[in-house]
Amino acid sequence: MVRQHVNPLSRFYQLPRPLPAPAELFARAELPLHLDIGAARGRFLLAMAQGEPDWNHLGLEIRRPLVDAAEADRQSLQLNNLHYLFCNANISLEGWLAALPTGLLQRVTIQFPDPWFKKKHHKRRVLQPELQLAIAAALAEGTALFVQSDVLAVIEPMVAVIEASGCFERPGGDARPWRTDNPLPVPTEREQHVLAQDLPVYRVLYARNALPPPPLALLQQRLAETLEQNPEAADNPAN
């Protein structure tokens, strides 16, 4: 399975794209919302939407051809609890999350994002501090954030920024450092590909706690301290 990267810092992907409100996307906008950031070809959400008809599912993807193909599948099945949108989540998502009705967003997933290994490319990674704070602000206490990757150099920085926010906790019964199974009923295509080769998948499930999101400067300070202790574990290291 070949990863096809786009540079999210290029001028085209830095253009803000207004995202429609849930009422414009779903037939029953009041249903609990699952947001999948980096939906790729969309087959994971296609199966989730059919298996969870009492949820709405929204997939965001930065590669427009994949969004177009996923939307064609959705329309062919006439699924009115599913939608895919083209955008750069770090540019267009923060304001959309802030405008959501309280309690609507119940689950966020970020699965197998593009790795961007080089230090100079770390700012291209999907889970930047600003986005993490927006997610934390939109999720109510007890709701879920699930992240997974087959690359340690990807999952460790994601864990660092999530835990530095102080807004999330792991379920007490989950194995450390990585959960042994997927809490969702549907695996992504990437997950199936990796497991078929008997390779590891690194997973962490979080529950939103009651703490308010910290100021951005405090989160960045915590990440800088994490970087001092473990240079591989900071998502947006200091320049």
Which tokens is 224 given? 């800088």
Query: What value does the CA radius of gyration of the chain take, rounded to a whole number of Å?
Result: 17
How many helical (H) and strand (E) elements, i.e. helices and strands, does the chain have? 8, 7
Choice among 36, 54, 73, 114 that is catalytic: 114
The closest of 144, 213, 203 to 175, measured between CA atoms, is 203
* Residue 176, CA distances (Å) to 9, 172, 179 in order: 34, 10, 6
Tell the burial category of 48 from Cβ atoms under 10 Å away from its Cβ (0-12, 13-18, 19+).
buried
Q: Burial level of 75, CB count in 10 A (0-12/13-18/19+)?
A: exposed
Is 114 marked active-site? Answer: yes
Measured CA to CA, the distance from residue 74 to residue 57 in angstroms comes to 11
Give catalytic residues, as residue numbers: 114
